[in-house]
Amino acid sequence: MSVEFIVFFAILSFLTSLLTSIFSVGGGLIMLVALAQSFSPATLIPLHGSIQLANNFSRTLVYREFVQWELIKHIVISTMFGALVGIFLFGTLSENLLLILIASTILFLTWAPIDNFILSVMKNDWFCGLISGFAGIFVGANGPLVTAYLRTKNLSPEVLVANHGAIMIFQHAIKIILFTSFFSFTIQDYFLFIFILALTGYAGANLGRRLISNISFDSFNIALKILLTFLSIFLII
């Protein structure tokens, strides 16, 4: 990796961690699409998971007093079963089909009425873990599904961000373990890259906590949707 490549993603990690620390959504999708320009799906998904695990750990650490294990334990447990089903199906799909699936899912998560989908499909914590765990294997950025589900619980912004981060730590960790076990991904090859992005991600999470009550979600959401749409279309073509 060139210095320019690492610097670009270090800055991106800061910005995406800042966004997710404030809104609990968006950062992982942006990072996924950016990484997809340079890595095959079999490397992209676990590498993205490693970076996001570090960033979610930073965010959860910053908001640690708001984490509620009783709120998330069933989601974490059921994630393992959804991810196991996903990893067995992942190897049956071609690289081009996986890229189309990733881009299509990002567009769906960006524009579809996710809240209605969550209410109709994710009936409880167990379904949330199963579906998001399965989706995480194929598309990497399954965070918006978890965010939408947690929003149905009418949590404060701090509790939402903290527990979303805690859930994603477990989901990304399970994903990394499965890809390391079933495919040729070796996290050691990217350790320095991940470490640098984790440092800048922690800085973004800290700044996000200071700004969480001062920024409008609506204005951010419109800009995010436009950006992700262009990036997803570029990924397909």
pLDDT digits (tens, 9 = 90+) for 33-46: 888 888 888 888 89
- The Cα-based distances of 47 to 11, 22, 108, 144, 192 in angstroms read 17, 23, 22, 19, 12
CB 146 within 8 A of CB 24: no
pLDDT tens, residue by residue, 107-132 = 776 676 666 666 666 668 888 888 88
Distance of alpha carbon 28 from alpha carbon 6, whole angstroms: 17
pLDDT, residue 157, reads 79
CA distance 189 to 172: 18
Distance in angstroms (rounded) separating the CA atoms of residues 152 and 154 = 6
- Span 66-101, pLDDT tens digits: 999 988 899 999 999 999 988 888 878 776 777 777
- Tens digit of pLDDT for each residue in 132-175? 888 888 777 677 778 778 877 878 878 888 898 899 999 999 99
Contact 87, 224 (CB under 8 A): no
Neighbouring residues of 75: CB distance < 8 A, sequence distance ≥ 6:
125, 126, 128, 129, 132, 146, 167
> Collapsing DSSP states into helix, strand and coil, what is residue 111?
helix
Q: What is the pTM of this model?
A: 0.79
